[in-house]
Chain A
Amino acid sequence: MQPDYRNFQPEELATDPSFRLWKLSNDEKESIFWEKWLSENPDKHELINKAAHLLNAVFNSFDTVSDEEVTTEIHRLSYSLGEKNAKTSRSVFLFRPEWYSVAASVLMIIGFGWWFINKNSPAEKTNSLYKEIISQIKEPLIQEVNNTDKPKLVALQDGSSVLLQPKSHISYPRSFTGSKREVFLYGEAFFEVAKNPDQPFFVYANGLVTKVLGTSFIISAFENEKDVKVVVKTGKVSVFALTDENLETQQADNKLGGMVLTPNQQIVFSPLNMRFTRSLIADPELLDLPIQKQSFNFKGTPIKEVFTALENSYGVKILFDAEIMKNCYLTASLSDEPLFEKIDLICRTINATHEQLDASIIISSKGCSYSPENQ
């Protein structure tokens, strides 16, 4: 039944399940067996030692990941899965396949504030690259400046929305005609990028390029005047320094190359010396903007409250007839769609229509007849 351990080589013993249970798991039953075996075979001490040492050596040699690292990575995974679940439940609620394609998007903030002021040589170099990129865009660029003290909503032609922070400006083409969508940012902004894998989204900011293919959440924020900081909440983006070679290789394909950022990672880029520092964000809940914390989970929520939540998060005015819509309720889980997609989804659910007028969104509805229990 039991193997003839006396004839074993150390390396054979090291792979024996019973021996491994004893040495690796301190299994009680096995240690009784092996201690008895050793007392019966006192000449085989060295065999046992050698096998144990081989195991030790292999584990020493390969075990290079710390408990903290494992915990962090599992936390990161569970975070990503949470986001995925939110999407799944949303899909269930929507149950219209053609909507899946518009549902996913990217949320991002890029901060930077230094580049246009400082004319040092790395910046000069980057500057000429910017000029080159801009010259390749055929559509005229629109510049939006936010001189107010509140975030300003900017709607892009592809359905993406940008919440431009005070003292920031952004340049973008009226429509995205080429193989990529490119915008130029000075200052700080919060992006919700509509998914379109065939037309990757590029944000140029202070010598840093952030490339997005879409499917999920990214957040980046800015800490001081010199560095660019990108923080990823869920999903993936790649970032790379703005150099000739990078532009060629990164723009050529639809894959995410460069330094890939995944959930709960942040990167600080220093344009002066082109250095990247990647780290994990200590507490993902501690994000700066209200929108970053917001998850829009509604369960039989009166539509008035839904609109109030959106108004507060995006700083837009939503106009609707509260009296007519007093019986409208919403059950939905929304997260990283651009604002207009959110509005669109809500309107389809409650059978309403919407239009945009200046900084306001006007909702037209004939009212709802059903009660929240039926939803």
Chain B
Amino acid sequence: MDKKQRILLENEILLDLWQQSKAGDSGAFCQLADKLYRTLFNYATSFTNDREYIKDAIQELMLHIWEKRQTINIQFVTIYFLKSLRNQILQEFRRNKHIYPYLDLDEIEEITDNHTIESEIEETEHYHESQRKVRNAINELPKRQKEAIFLKFYEGLENEQIADLMQVNRQSVANLLFKAITTLKSQIPLLSNWLLIIYMLIY
């Protein structure tokens, strides 16, 4: 199965749920929300660390889409929801700069030391210690690079789709990804060691 087919098939299942939702089946809509929830939540962590805020934002998005379902036409379900969530969150940030000053996207680009507090227990264990480093490496990426990494590797989207979502051109996406991967690769000697160990443990 080639790439396009695979995406289309996945989308078909979601589209099916969406059509049922559109016809007024709230159960199908909840199933759809359930399928998309993890992706949406994790995507939103590219913008803010406030988990309760993210939950509220997704609820709001879902209710809004449900209310407007008659007028919404969707081709690619996941992309539509990701895009809507992104717009909603960024719009709210712009409106409430005084409430979310730390979320200002331009500022965030410059912050590189993103502190992740980890428990000491984790530190003592080799597995978790390594995991922490990987997580830190990704967390320390500038927000837009992190967002691109999410869309590319978590969601498996193509550069064109990422460009559409992030509202930049394809070249910018390629640049963001290149920078991010270069940064991560510079950590790879470190990463590959522990990863190899994990790999042997798991497989």
> CB within 8 Å of B: which residues of A?
11, 14-18, 20-21, 49-50, 52-65, 69-70, 73-74, 76-78, 80-82, 84-85, 257, 260, 262-263, 278
B131 in complex: contacting residue of A21, A52, A60, A76, CB < 8 Å: A60
How far in angstroms is the closest Cβ of chain B from A43?
16
Bound form: Cα–Cα A21–B33 in Å: 22
Q: Are B30 and A64 in contact (CB under 8 A)?
A: no
Q: Are A65 and B41 in contact (CB under 8 A)?
A: yes
Q: Are B33 and A77 in contact (CB under 8 A)?
A: yes
How far in angstroms is the closest Cβ of chain B from A268?
15
How far in angstroms is the closest Cβ of chain B from A164?
31
Bound form: Cα–Cα A55–B191 in Å: 12
Chain A residues with Cβ under 8 A from B139's Cβ? 61
Bound form: Cα–Cα A18–B7 in Å: 11
Q: Which residues between 54 and 72 of chain B lie within 8 Å of chain A, taking CB atoms?
A: 55-56, 58-60, 62-63, 66-67
Chain A residue with minimal CB distance to B26?
A81
Chain A residues with Cβ under 8 A from B30's Cβ? 74, 77-78, 81
Bound form: Cα–Cα A166–B29 in Å: 42
In this assembly, does B52 line the interface, its C-beta being within 8 Å of a C-beta of chain A?
Answer: yes
The 6 closest A-B pairs by CB, nearest first: A53-B195, A61-B138, A57-B134, A81-B26, A17-B6, A62-B42
Q: Are B37 and A58 in contact (CB under 8 A)?
A: no
Chain B residue with minimal CB distance to A82?
B26
Bound form: Cα–Cα A59–B45 in Å: 13
Could you name 30 residue pairs across A and B whose Cβ atoms are closer than 8 Å?
A: A15-B152, A15-B153, A17-B2, A17-B3, A20-B156, A50-B195, A53-B196, A54-B153, A56-B134, A57-B135, A58-B138, A58-B149, A58-B153, A59-B154, A61-B135, A62-B45, A64-B45, A64-B51, A65-B37, A70-B37, A70-B38, A70-B41, A74-B30, A74-B33, A77-B59, A81-B63, A84-B63, A262-B56, A263-B59, A278-B52
Q: Are A17 and B7 in contact (CB under 8 A)?
A: yes
Bound form: Cα–Cα A64–B146 in Å: 15
How far in angstroms is the closest Cβ of chain B from A301?
25
B134 in complex: contacting residue of A18, A21, A52, A60, CB < 8 Å: A60
Total interface residues in chain B, CB < 8 Å: 50
Bound form: Cα–Cα A73–B52 in Å: 11
Task: Tell me whether A78 and B26 are in contact in the complex, defined as CB-CB below 8 angstroms, given that A49-B196, A53-B195, A84-B63 are known contacts.
Answer: yes
Bound form: Cα–Cα A59–B156 in Å: 12
Chain A residues with Cβ under 8 A from B41's Cβ? 64-65, 69-70
Q: Are A55 and B195 in contact (CB under 8 A)?
A: no
> CB within 8 Å of A: which residues of B?
1-3, 6-7, 26-27, 29-30, 33-34, 37-38, 41-42, 45, 51-52, 55-56, 58-60, 62-63, 66-67, 96, 99, 131, 134-135, 137-139, 149-150, 152-154, 156, 181, 184, 188, 191-192, 195-196, 198-199
Chain B residues with Cβ under 8 A from A17's Cβ? 1-3, 6-7, 156
Chain B residue with minimal CB distance to A72?
B55
How far in angstroms is the closest Cβ of chain B from A90?
15
Chain A residues with Cβ under 8 A from B188's Cβ? 50
Chain A residues with Cβ under 8 A from B191's Cβ? 53, 57
Chain A residues with Cβ under 8 A from B149's Cβ? 58
B37 in complex: contacting residue of A53, A56, A74, A84, CB < 8 Å: A74
Chain B residues with Cβ under 8 A from A62's Cβ? 42, 45, 138, 150, 154
How far in angstroms is the closest Cβ of chain A from B114?
11
Q: Are A56 and B150 in contact (CB under 8 A)?
A: no
Q: Are A49 and B199 in contact (CB under 8 A)?
A: yes
Q: Are B38 and A53 in contact (CB under 8 A)?
A: no
Task: Tell me whether A56 and B195 are in contact in the complex, defined as CB-CB below 8 angstroms, given that A15-B153, A61-B138, A81-B29 are known contacts.
Answer: yes
How far in angstroms is the closest Cβ of chain B from A79?
10
Q: Are B67 and A84 in contact (CB under 8 A)?
A: yes
Q: Are A15 and B59 in contact (CB under 8 A)?
A: no
Task: Tell me whether A74 and B34 are in contact in the complex, defined as CB-CB below 8 angstroms, given that A62-B150, A262-B56 are known contacts.
Answer: yes
How far in angstroms is the closest Cβ of chain B from A62?
4
Chain A residues with Cβ under 8 A from B2's Cβ? 17
Chain A residues with Cβ under 8 A from B153's Cβ? 11, 14-15, 54-55, 58
Chain A residue with minimal CB distance to B98?
A249
